Structure 1
Amino acid sequence: MKIKAAVLNEQGKDLDLEEVILDEPKSNEVLIKTIASGICHSDIEFQDGGFPIKLPVILGHEGAGIVEKVGSNVTDFKKGDHVAVGFASDGTCRFCRAGLPGSCVNFNKLNTSGGPMRDGTYRLHKQNGQDIGNFFGQSSFGDHIVADVNNLVKVPTDLDLRLVGPLGCGYMTGAGTVINSLKPEINSNLAVLGTGSVGLAAIMGAAVSNCKHVIAIDKNDQRLEMAKEFGATDTINNTKVDMINEINRIVGSEGLNYVVDTTGEPDVMKAGLTALTIKGQFAVVAMGTKTIKELSPMIDLLSFSKDIKGVIEGDSIPQEFIPELIDLYRAGKFPIDKLVKFYKPEDINQGIKDSISGKTIKPIIVFDEQYHV
């Protein structure tokens, strides 16, 4: 079938809205009409060339939509189901079987290579027959998606699907890092570096975990003010004050137990690591080229027995954690609707620019303008 999709033909350039060919779903796959897709920092990193990826590719990995067709072996989903579309995993490796699909041994191959689907074949093609790579097993920057059942989470039909997509990555990563991975004790002290959508989700996760001090750290005063609405007890603009001294002033002799970094900025990460107390834990959820080249924290880790851990997708099982986040949203404890701005598909490049500038926290591309709850 012919669909409209935003194609990345050259890294460092805008996405091109094109008519492309999408194949029928195979036996373990589902065809989904895309209602909306979030724009995530990872999409931007791959578009800009921060990480290599095979081209052409259709990015997008925070999709949400309505099932239109299911493959012959699919039994858990049917036409008309509303779904969030998350990351891809093989479902069979030892980490997947242990409930850590984000640590799947084939994660990079299935999600970030720009290659084929799990069976080694492509679903997306140019009009001239050239294969188009998939992203996170979904490529949600198109008006339809073909995804494996492992990617899917069924959601209630009365939930606004325009808000659902980021639950599959950004929000799940932020909140899951706190709730599933760090698991902070009640009355512990936690700082979040960066207050974009992932950082604010982490702050919300810390708030529902009953941390004593939840410290939001950023260079943007407007976002820091917003962080207070989402559960931050304290805020620090690290461009105006000494971040370490200010953290120590806030937490006192109790020390800072946990840090979640969403920035990938080496200087900020080093300061956060230094501010941790003995046996403190530092969770890294963002990675950029500067991080890889510049960050060497080994001395601090060894000297004070601190723990640094990489967390992918919030150490979440999407089929279990996304319904928990929906329950928190319905209870008013996870107000994701306050983070978004909606864009038309033809304005996707503007949405990306607004995300980079900080004008919009979570841009959402709405592919079906006739959709209503």
Structure 2
Amino acid sequence: MATAEAAVARAPGRPFAIESIRVDDPRAHEVLVTVEAAGICHTDLSVRAGHTPFPLPGVLGHEAVGTVAAVGCAVTATSPGERVLLTFDSCGACPACQGGRPVRCEHWPALNLFGGCRLDGSPTLWDGAGAPLHGKFFGQSSFATLALASDRNVVPVPRDLPAEALAPFGCGVQTGAGAVLNVLRPEPGQSLAVFGAGAVGLSAVLAARLTAATRIIAVDLDPRRLALAQRLGATDVVDAGARDAGEALAELTGRQGVACALETSGDVRALRQAVAALAIGGTLGVIGAPPAGTEVGLDVPQLLDRGPRIIGINQGASLPQRFLPALVELFRRGRLPVTELVRSYPFERIEQAAADARSGRVVKPVLMLQPTPTRRARTR
């Protein structure tokens, strides 16, 4: 076993506690990673608040980059010393995984959210008193200086790129960009409306710039986020706090509606607006996750009349081993400037980073767990 420092979520609503923990040795298909940087995602904060199910006490974190410290005897995807991104986990053996759709893995909930342990029930983390901690959050639990991942959720990346920019690729960037590039795929001349200008929504805006969509509309309540969306490539913005978003989108599209829409906020009002904003036969991708059990009311005759497609999108419908290297290369070439979203924080200031994320002051806080010579983003 190895010793690490971790931000432990002890109970819903309580602050993270930086503690010394023990991490199990990697088994046959597992990979031990020294974490350089980890992004804070809405899902991490939702679990800590008690809105998203995950057993506590435990270690969260699921957007990380680091260096492989050790591997199990059956690992071929990487080797010690290689730099890797950590992303969601999958079993690799079920029909969905075998068919190249790991986000539909039959073990996805247990491997990524609800389990808190290996599939066989064994723990991977223990606190200083020897009590088991729940881990394996999204197959990694990377709010720690060491994370135990698998050969299915590590993706090799270059050493010369800044850790704080790379970390969010494993979830937020992959999810937003993948929703546009893998699922919605706007055709030449079409319009796309993105509801919510957070990390996922703005990643979608960045990806939309790489398509032939001629109108990219960002919808949000925060004028600062809308200004950033315009800087990143949105052709139009709608301040939903200042006017009716549905009416604004109707005006922008000549009352035709948008061909594609993406709801990233988790607000059911925005979801209803997004459905209503679609053109006849338009497609809505739903990413935003409100608390479990949340329902939305829709105008059924309108659905029958306009024939929209509503698709739930998880992790950008990505095959990470193929998609993430492509996104990283786009970043290297300056075509996916995710550094515009990032602010880095020392690990011990995780509570400040979480507060800044909740308040909207920062789009994507990234915790720096190891010193790196490539640090470029602003450090608070």
Same fold (TM over 0.5): yes
Counterpart position of 1:106: 107
Aligned positions, number:
372
Deviation at 1:254, TM superposition (A): 4.4
Gap change, CA 1:144 and 1:371, over 3 Å in 2: farther
- One-letter identity of the residue aligned with 1:154: P
Counterpart position of 1:207: 209
Task: Indicate if the aligned counterparts of 1:193 and 1:259 stay in contact, CA closer than 8 A.
Answer: yes
How far apart, in 2, do the equivalents of 1:96 and 1:353 lie?
37
- One-letter identity of the residue aligned with 2:180: V
How far apart, in 2, do the equivalents of 1:103 and 1:223 lie?
32
Deviation at 1:75, TM superposition (A): 2.1
Task: Indicate if the aligned counterparts of 1:23 and 1:124 stay in contact, CA closer than 8 A.
Answer: yes
Gap change, CA 1:126 and 1:298, over 3 Å in 2: farther
Of 317, 324, 327, 1:322 maps to 324
Cα deviation per residue 1:80-126 (whole Å; 9 max; x = unaligned)? 10100000111111111221111211111111114212343221111
Counterpart position of 1:337: 339
Map 1:241-252 to 2 at 5 A: 241-252=243-254
Deviation at 1:298, TM superposition (A): 6.0
Q: Secondary structure at the match of 1:35?
A: strand
Q: Secondary structure at the match of 2:5?
A: strand
Task: Indicate if the aligned counterparts of 1:6 and 1:16 stay in contact, CA closer than 8 A.
Answer: yes
Map 1:206-245 to 2 at 5 A: 206-245=208-247
TM (norm. structure 1) is: 0.96
| Structure 2 runs not aligned, ≥5 long | 376-380
| Structure 1 runs not aligned, ≥5 long | none
How far apart, in 2, do the equivalents of 1:132 and 1:276 lie?
45
Deviation at 1:331, TM superposition (A): 2.1
Of 178, 195, 206, 1:176 maps to 178
Map 1:131-142 to 2 at 5 A: 131-134=132-135, 135-142=137-144
- One-letter identity of the residue aligned with 1:105: E
Deviation at 1:76, TM superposition (A): 2.6
Task: Indicate if the aligned counterparts of 2:109 and 2:115 stay in contact, CA closer than 8 A.
Answer: no
- One-letter identity of the residue aligned with 1:54: P
Q: Secondary structure at the match of 1:25?
A: coil
Give the fraction of aligned pairs with identical amino acids, expressed as a percent.
Answer: 35
Q: Secondary structure at the match of 2:343?
A: strand
Task: Indicate if the aligned counterparts of 1:67 and 1:79 stay in contact, CA closer than 8 A.
Answer: yes
Task: Indicate if the aligned counterparts of 2:164 and 2:342 stay in contact, CA closer than 8 A.
Answer: no
Gap change, CA 1:298 and 1:151, over 3 Å in 2: farther
RMSD over aligned Cα atoms = 1.4
